[in-house]
Structure 1
Amino acid sequence: MPEKRLILPVRPIFKPMLQISQRGLALPPSPYRRLTPYAEAARQRGLTVHPLNIGQPDIETPPSMLAAVQQADIRVLEYGPTAGYPSYRQKLAEYYQRLGLPVAADDILVTTGGSESISFALLACLNPGDEFIVPEPFYGPYNAFAIATGTHVVAVASHLENDFALPPIAEFERRITPRTKAILICSPNNPTGYVYSRQELEQLKELCLRHNLYLLSDEAYREFCYDDAFTSALSLAGADEHVVLLDTISKRYSACGARIGALVTKNKALRDVIFKLAQLRVCPPGLGQLLAEAAADLPENYFDHTKAEYQARRDLMVSRLRAMPGVRCPLPRGAFYVLCHLPVDDAERFARWLLEDFSYQGQTLMVSPAAGFYATASLGRQQMRLAYVVNQDVINQAMDCLAVALQQYPGRQG
Structure 2
Amino acid sequence: MMKLSKRTDILPISSIRKLIPLSERAKKKGIKVFHLNMGQPDVKTPQVMIDSLKNWNINPLSYAPSGGTNEYLNALETYYHDLGFLFVNTGNTIGTIAGSEAINMAMFLTCDPGDELLVFEPYYSSYKTSATMFGIKLIPIKTTISSGFHFPSIETIEVSITPKTKAVLYSNPCNPTGTVYTKAEIKLLINLVKKLNLYLISDEVYREYTFVDRPHVSILEYMMEIPDRTILIDSLSKRYNLCGARLGNLVSLNKEIINGALKYAMSRLSGGLIDQHVGSQLVHVPKSYTKEMQKEYEARRDLMFEGLTKIPGINVTKPEGAFYIMAELPVDDAEKFCIWLLTDFQDNQETVMLAPGYGFYSDSSDGKRQVRIAYVLEKDKLKRALEILKIALKEYCHIA
TM-score (norm 1): 0.94
Residue 144 (structure 2) pairs with residue 159 (structure 1): yes
What residue in structure 1 maps to residue 105 of structure 2? 120
Residue 282 (structure 2) pairs with residue 295 (structure 1): yes
Residue 11 (structure 2) pairs with residue 27 (structure 1): yes
One-letter code of the match for 1:141?
S
Of 367, 381, 396, the residue aligned with 1:409 is 396
One-letter code of the match for 1:82?
S
Q: Taking structure 1 as reference, are residues 156 and 412 closer, same or farther at Cα in structure 2, changes over 3 Å only?
A: farther
What root-mean-square deviation, in Å, do the aligned CA atoms of Structure 1 and Structure 2 show? 1.2
CA distance in 1, matches of 2:88, 2:226: 14
1:337-371 Cα distance to aligned partner (Å, 9 max, x none): 01111111110011011111111111000000101
One-letter code of the match for 1:368?
A
Of 175, 183, 191, the residue aligned with 2:168 is 183
Of 181, 189, 198, the residue aligned with 1:204 is 189
Q: What is the DSSP-based 3-state SS (H/G/I as helix, E as strand, rest coil) of the residue aligned with 2:316?
A: coil
Residue 296 (structure 2) pairs with residue 322 (structure 1): no
Residue 40 (structure 2) pairs with residue 56 (structure 1): yes
Gaps of at least 5 residues in structure 2 are none
Segments of 4+ moved more than 2 angstroms: 410-413
One-letter code of the match for 2:382?
I
CA distance in 2, matches of 1:330, 1:126: 33
One-letter code of the match for 1:34?
K
Of 246, 266, 269, the residue aligned with 1:259 is 246
TM-score (norm 2): 0.97
Task: Name whichever of 92-101 and 383-392 sits farther off.
Answer: 92-101
Of 196, 212, 216, the residue aligned with 2:201 is 216
CA distance in 2, matches of 1:95, 1:127: 33
Matched-pair identity in % = 39
Question: Which of structures 1 and 2 has the bigger CA Rg?
Answer: 1
What residue in structure 1 maps to residue 180 of structure 2? 195
Q: CA deviation at 1:301?
A: 2.1
CA distance in 1, matches of 2:304, 2:399: 21
Q: CA deviation at 1:86?
A: 1.4
One-letter code of the match for 1:103?
V
- Asked if the contact 2:75–2:281 (Cα under 8 Å) also holds between the matched residues in 1, the reply is no
CA distance in 2, matches of 1:412, 1:142: 36
- Asked if the contact 1:406–1:412 (Cα under 8 Å) also holds between the matched residues in 2, the reply is no
CA distance in 2, matches of 1:37, 1:95: 39
Q: What is the DSSP-based 3-state SS (H/G/I as helix, E as strand, rest coil) of the residue aligned with 1:97?
A: helix
What residue in structure 2 maps to residue 170 of structure 1? 155
CA distance in 2, matches of 1:358, 1:81: 50
How does 1:4-403 map onto structure 2 within 5 Å? 17-101=1-85, 102-227=87-212, 228-236=214-222, 237-403=224-390
- Asked if the contact 2:71–2:277 (Cα under 8 Å) also holds between the matched residues in 1, the reply is no
Q: CA deviation at 1:394?
A: 0.7
- Asked if the contact 1:234–1:240 (Cα under 8 Å) also holds between the matched residues in 2, the reply is no
- Asked if the contact 1:53–1:367 (Cα under 8 Å) also holds between the matched residues in 2, the reply is yes
1:252-309 Cα distance to aligned partner (Å, 9 max, x none): 0011000010011010011111111110011111111111110122122221211111
CA distance in 2, matches of 1:366, 1:323: 19
Q: What is the DSSP-based 3-state SS (H/G/I as helix, E as strand, rest coil) of the residue aligned with 1:409?
A: helix
Gaps of at least 5 residues in structure 1 are 1-16
Q: What is the DSSP-based 3-state SS (H/G/I as helix, E as strand, rest coil) of the residue aligned with 2:114?
A: coil
Q: CA deviation at 1:165?
A: 0.6
CA distance in 1, matches of 2:161, 2:89: 32
Q: CA deviation at 1:411?
A: 6.6
Q: CA deviation at 1:377?
A: 3.0
- Asked if the contact 1:343–1:412 (Cα under 8 Å) also holds between the matched residues in 2, the reply is no
Q: CA deviation at 1:412?
A: 7.4
CA distance in 1, matches of 2:45, 2:125: 25
Q: How many residues align?
A: 397
Q: CA deviation at 1:399?
A: 0.5
1:8-62 Cα distance to aligned partner (Å, 9 max, x none): xxxxxxxxx3121111110111111001111111111111010000000000001
